[in-house]
Structure 1
Amino acid sequence: MNTTEKFCLPVDGILEVFNSFTGHHQSRFAHPALHRTALIPRLQHPKISNITKTGMGIIKTVQGCWRRQDKRVVTRRSSSSGHRQVSTDRLPKKPVDLTELGATKPKNCHRVVVLGATKVGKTNIVRRFLGEEYEEHYEPTIEDFYRKMFHIGGETYQVDLLDAASERDFPAKRRLSILTGDIFLLVFSLDDRDSLNEVRDLFNEIKAAKAKLQKPNHPARVPAVVCANKADLDAQRVVSNSEVVDILGKDAPFFETSAKTGAGLEAVFMALAALGGLPDETSPSQHQIIPISTYQSLCIGKRGLRRRRRSRGLGAPCAAVDPLARRPSFTSDLRLVLGSSTTNKKPEKCQIQ
């Protein structure tokens, strides 16, 4: 290789050879100066064995830049099915569960199970609770699990939300979700009468399932909130308030809402907080969303839990959404249910059938 080839190779030849192996287009990332091919004599592509160490270093540098760029594009791309936008900057390596570290009391942890027919707006209501925007495009939800953690008045709270849309076709799986749920959000659409009938059936199923875990002489009220969504579609409305009361009774709070405009959702979130014994500040309009890394530093710093106790009562209400949260395994949920059934004098063999 002569002197001229060594001069031209790192600038033009290396990038072209690298592009031929990776499939990337040079014009997407290359500096404009690299397109001035008229100033640099073009040579036939050299063999990989002729590339100098300097050239290989440039290839690795460009490859790293492309990988980081592609990673940012993938993580910032929003999904129309309700999945969260996740930034890879300073993310924890595993889901955040402060109960394992003793930073959150068990009584401050609740699981909200969202149930209802398809296309009634369940996912968008959940998005509103997480502090996200309404998503116009509809895509069926398989199953989404979210975890939102709060720091209010020096105390920490954890709310897990299970959007169990697909479980309507799997009775055993749905029953397990019901038995492990603490609070229920039942959603139907005001322009779909069948969705109201489905909520009625779900509500009766919840009452029957929870009765198995309660003492016979002390039946408790089912912690459920009913949400009549799509109130903004007044012209297509086919369900009246009187019909809702006649079908569902007065055993659960009932609210008309619009996930699109946000109308009525504040009352729904306040009702969910009241059922779970949570502060009113858990409502999205009354706290600030902070990054998950900031939340961890706020709850557990270098001094451990002592730092959190000293800061009790200080700071504005804030919350963070754990982007890596995953639903607990069915095995652990089943163990939880079977453990709860021992409170009865005559426990069932298995509550999930």
Structure 2
Amino acid sequence: MSTTEKFYLSVDGILEMFNSLTGHRITHPVLQSTALVQVAPQHPKVPNISKAGMGIIKTVTGRWRDQDKRVVASRSSSSGSRQDSTDRLPKRSMDLLELGLIKPKNCHRIVVLGAPNVGKTNILHRFLGKEFEERYEPTSEDFHRKLFHIGGEAYQIDLLDAASERNFPAKRRLSILTGDTFLLVFSLDDRDSFNEVCELLDQIKAAKAKLLKLKHPARIPTVICGNKADSEAPRAVRRCEVTDILGDDGAYFETSARDGTGLDGVFGALANLGGLPDETSPSRHQIISIPTYQSLCIGQRGKRGSRTRGIGASCAAMDPLARRPSFTSDLRLVLRSSTTHKKSERCQIQ
């Protein structure tokens, strides 16, 4: 064999040599540095590995074996009379429609829009049963799914806080077109935030009218919040101004996400406009865990008369693994909605 040359190879290089020798495709964070190995350029497919390279590979495999032993030991020690709570959590998001546990008419999406720092996230937290958060962090995009069991029927409410879409008109338009009900939020001490809500309302009406092929702007189920009613700052927007400008375009409430003022009315109006039971309001149901909810729905489906109302107390659960559906799925939803009203016509997002 001719003289070999020395190269400094990256982690990927070491893994490639190991893979060629063992026939396994592996990666592992233990290999975080480079190693000095020798490779014969005449035989690139079967490299000549130096003792240092072989030592690294042996060290890695040894550590993996030790780690596997520790994992097995920790699992056996924790599997006593009580199972770890994380083992009981679902492995994926619980889509009731996909699982056949819900009627399509009981699936609802609420789209939340408004200027930054007006309290949208904290209003959503109140609906989800969470506490008010004092520290402000700009929201890129939040998607939540709350599952209800009311009167023997299952309901699925998706909440989309599309805060980051202000600078992406096409993306915002798609979010608007997928919404069933809209929650528009402005701050009572910020006139510009109210002006943005007025613009949003016009955009929503125009987008829905185009989707449904209407000659006039559509009437949209909308709830408008003038938030921060508890603020000591001077008011920039008065109630009479809001009602004069908005007219009958939406239900208006002055709220405080901090102390909960007015939020019961907001959640009740969202339920009423969306054709949902009043028990979807946070004060009208109890919160249960997602495994309990899943067992309840599956058990209810297996019984005759499962559609009988009045079975059990109203309850709800948060889906911890819920993620916003892909844009492809949203686009299909929009196109399906469009063809329902006008066949053979397509909906243009942009």
Q: TM-score range by the shorter chain?
A: 0.7 to 0.9
- The residue number in structure 2 matching 1:246 is 244
Are 1:324 and 2:334 matched, yes or no?
no
| Aligned partner (choices 139, 142, 145) of residue 141 of structure 1 | 139
- What residue is the counterpart of 2:202 in the other structure? 204
Q: Determine whether 1:351 maps to 2:326.
A: no
Q: Does 1:297 align with 2:298?
A: no
Question: Is the CA contact 1:146–1:161 (under 8 Å) kept in the aligned structure 2?
Answer: yes
1:58/1:138 CA distance change after superposition, 3 Å: same
Instruction: Tell me which amino acid in the other structure corresponds to 1:137.
Output: R
**Aligned pair partner of 1:60 in 70, 93, 104:** 70
- Distance, in Å, in 2 between the alignment partners of 1:152 and 1:160 is 16
CA contact (8 A) 1:341 1:347 kept: no
1:275 aligns with 2:285: no
Aligned positions, number: 280
Residue pair 2:279, 2:285 contacting (<8 A) in 1 also: yes
Task: Please say if residues 212 and 341 of structure 1, whose CA atoms lie closer than 8 Å, have aligned partners that are also in contact.
Answer: no
1:251 deviation in Å?
A: 1.3
Letter paired with 1:178: I
Q: Which amino acid aligns with 1:60?
A: R
Measured in 1, the distance between the counterparts of 2:244 and 2:87 equals: 51
1:116-135 mapped onto 2 (5 Å cutoff): 116-135=114-133
Q: Any idea what the Cα deviations from partners look like across 1:125-168, whole Å, max 9, x if unmatched?
A: 00000000001111111101000011111111110000100011
* CA pair 171-58 structure 1, distance change in 2 beyond 3 A: closer
**1:220 Cα shift?**
4.8
Match of 1:188 among 181, 186, 189: 186
Q: Secondary structure at the match of 2:112?
A: strand
The alpha carbon displacement at 1:281 in A equals 0.7
| Unmatched runs of 5 consecutive residues or more in structure 1 | 1-20, 22-48, 50-55, 69-86
% identical equivalent positions: 71
Q: Matches of 1:279 and 1:101 in 2, distance apart?
A: 22
RMSD value over aligned CA atoms?
A: 2.7
TM superposition score normalised by structure 1:
0.73
Q: Judge conservation of contact 1:103–1:305 (CA < 8 Å) in 2.
A: no
Q: How far did 1:326 drift? A: 0.8
Q: Is the 8 A contact 2:288 2:316 kept in 1?
A: yes
Structure 1 residue 325: Cα displacement: 0.5
Aligned counterparts of 1:159 and 1:338: Cα–Cα separation in 2: 21
> 2:154 aligns to what?
156
**For 2:211, what is the secondary structure of its paired residue?**
coil
State the Cα distance separating 1:332 from its structure 2 match. Answer: 1.1
Q: Please state how far the C-alpha of 1:341 moved relative to its aligned partner.
A: 2.2
Alpha-carbon spacing, 1:202–1:220, altered in 2? closer, same or farther (3 Å): closer
Deviation of 1:217 after TM superposition, in Å, equals 6.8
Distance 1:104 1:62, change over 3 A: closer
Q: How much has 1:274 moved relative to structure 2?
A: 0.2
Question: Cα offset for 1:349?
Answer: 4.8
**Structure 2 segments unaligned to the other structure (5+ residues):** 1-29, 31-58, 60-65, 79-84
Tell which deviates more after alignment, 135-144 or 97-106: 97-106
8 A Cα contact 1:112 1:162, kept in partner: yes
Please give the per-residue CA displacement for 1:59-97, whole angstroms capped at 9, x wherever unaligned.
8279949xx9xxxxxxxxxxxxxxxxxx73521111101
Does the 8 Å contact 1:338/1:350 carry over to 2?
Answer: yes
Q: Structure 1: which amino acid aligns with 2:328?
A: T
TM-score with structure 2 setting the length: 0.73
Match of 1:223 in 2: 221
8 Å CA contact 1:230, 1:259 repeated in 2 = yes
